[in-house]
Amino acid sequence: MGCTTCYQEPRWTIEWKDGKAASIDIDYNWVGRIDKDSITQVIRFVSAEDPAQTPILGTYTLKDRSFLFEPLIPFTRGMSYEVYAHDKKIGTFNIGFETGPLPVVKAIYPGVDTVPENLLKTYIEFSQPMSEGRSKDCISITNEKGDTLRDVFLDLQPELWSENRTVLTLWLDPGRIKRDLQPNLKLGTPLRANHKYKITVSARWPAAQGRSMEKDFSRTLVTTMRNETSPDPSQWKLVLPAAASVEPVWISFDKPLDHFLLGDALYIRHASGEWIKGKITAVNKDRGARFTPAQAWVAGNYNMVIASKLEDLCGNNINRPFDRDVTKTKTPSQQEYHTIPFTIK
């Protein structure tokens, strides 16, 4: 833990851990000596923004000249807190913001500007870890008239964050996308073909460390008719490098694919069975990808290996469409992986 003296009073010290305001150390000279058994009845901490003055849960540790209060959830940057002793407010302290760059939205996916009306997922990528539980209040979608649409995204709790909390996955309501389900019959699809929609991320959304964005971020999407077919690797085109080079293999898809599934669904294997180390990067707004090898190519035969879980923008994976009529479509493939052979010369 590293400590910094409180901004207003020499009677307390905010203690920081892993970039969070983890506890506050308060001098007995300010509040008077308190015994261990009665401290929870004598002292309480509340948020200055809480009209109900609900005591903040936490633990107390008594020291020789002070006591330490460690809230169950770290104090939030940018907020003020009040300290009460014997039900009398004795002071207020603030948790300051960190310095450094403000959070920004790096991108909203899909990368393409025109999407099918049965779009299943969208992703929001931030420049730094964000606070959780804010998507419902800080993300909105409006039509070309400026009307805010309701119940477009599933209200999932907890939210679907990447491990480092920089990428949020938002699902459009599958019950409204799949035809013949009651939500679809009553409400229709969340998006309608041949319309324009704007997704807005509010600047009110704070990062995990408390700082909010400088301004709102918006992205406009235009919708087309439904897409009900699976991606077809037999239609993909490869541009191959020469042996002894470290140039990438370029792959062009038959349609845009899920940006964040690409990195975990495409591999290359030598005919001998050896997996080739390298990096997959989405290109051309997710209409293609490149595989850059970690070492120079060796002449020979290879296979592009594609996990069947790879999806397009509408949840159609390599084996089966997301929304299919089981009475009219053939039985889906059960292959876990599909391959495209190629030769490096």
The CATH 2.60.40.3710 domain(s) of the chain lie at 105-224
329 contacts 321 by C-beta, under 8 angstroms = yes
- Smallest CA-to-CA distance from 179 within 328, 4, 3 is with 328
Least confident residue range of 66-70, 119-123, 281-285: 66-70
Q: Specify the higher pLDDT residue, 91 or 140.
A: 140
CATH topology for 2-94 is: Immunoglobulin-like (2.60.40)
Residue 105 CB neighbour total at 10 angstroms: 20
263 or 19, greater pLDDT: 263
Split at pLDDT 50, 70, 90, the class of 206 is confident
The pLDDT value recorded for residue 333 is: 77
Instruction: Decide if pLDDT at 2 tops 70.
Output: no
Say what the pLDDT of residue 8 is: 35
pLDDT score recorded for residue 4:
35
Residue 38 token pair: 């009665």
The pair phi, psi for residue 310, each rounded to 5°, is -60, 130
Cβ atoms of 224 and 152 closer than 8 Å: no
Range of lowest pLDDT (54-58, 128-132, 280-284): 128-132
State residue 97's pLDDT score.
64
Decide if domain 233-344 falls under CATH 2.60.40.10: no
pLDDT at 223 exceeding the cut of 60: yes
pLDDT of 111 above 50: yes
Q: Which residues pair with 196 in a beta bridge?
A: 222
Q: How many CB atoms lie within 10 A of CB 160?
A: 14
Q: What is the β-pairing status of strands 196-201 and 160-161?
A: unpaired
Could you give the residue ranges of the DSSP H alpha helices within 51-204? 135-138, 174-177, 182-187
Domain 105-224 class?
A: mainly beta
39-43, 137-141, 334-338: which range is least confident on average? Answer: 39-43
Question: Which of 236, 231, 235, 286 lies closest to 263 in space, CA to CA?
Answer: 286
pLDDT of residue 327: 54
Compute, in degrees rounded to 10, the torsion defined by CA atoms 122, 126, 132, 137: -60
Give the distance from CA 216 to its chain's centroid.
Answer: 17
Query: 180: part of which helix (H) or strand (E)?
Result: none
Residue 104 has pLDDT above 90, yes or no: yes
Q: Report how far apart, in Å, the C-alpha atoms of 94 and of each of 61, 67, 279, 318 are.
A: 21, 19, 45, 53
Mean residue pLDDT of the chain comes to 88
Q: Which of 2-6, 168-172, 325-329 has the highest mean pLDDT?
A: 168-172
Residue 53: pLDDT over 50: yes
pLDDT at 9 over 60: no
> Is it the case that residue 325 has pLDDT exceeding 80?
no
Mean pLDDT of 5-20: 61
Pinpoint the residues of the chain covered by CATH 2.60.40.1220: 233-344
The DSSP secondary structure of 112-124, one letter per residue, reads: SSEEETT--EEEE
Tell me which H or E stretch contains 243.
Answer: none
Contact 117, 323 (CB under 8 A): no
pLDDT at 10: 41
Average pLDDT over residues 26-40: 73
- Condensed to tens digits (0 to 9), the pLDDT of residues 231-264 reads 999 999 999 999 999 999 999 999 999 999 998 9
Predicted confidence at residue 268, as pLDDT, reads 98
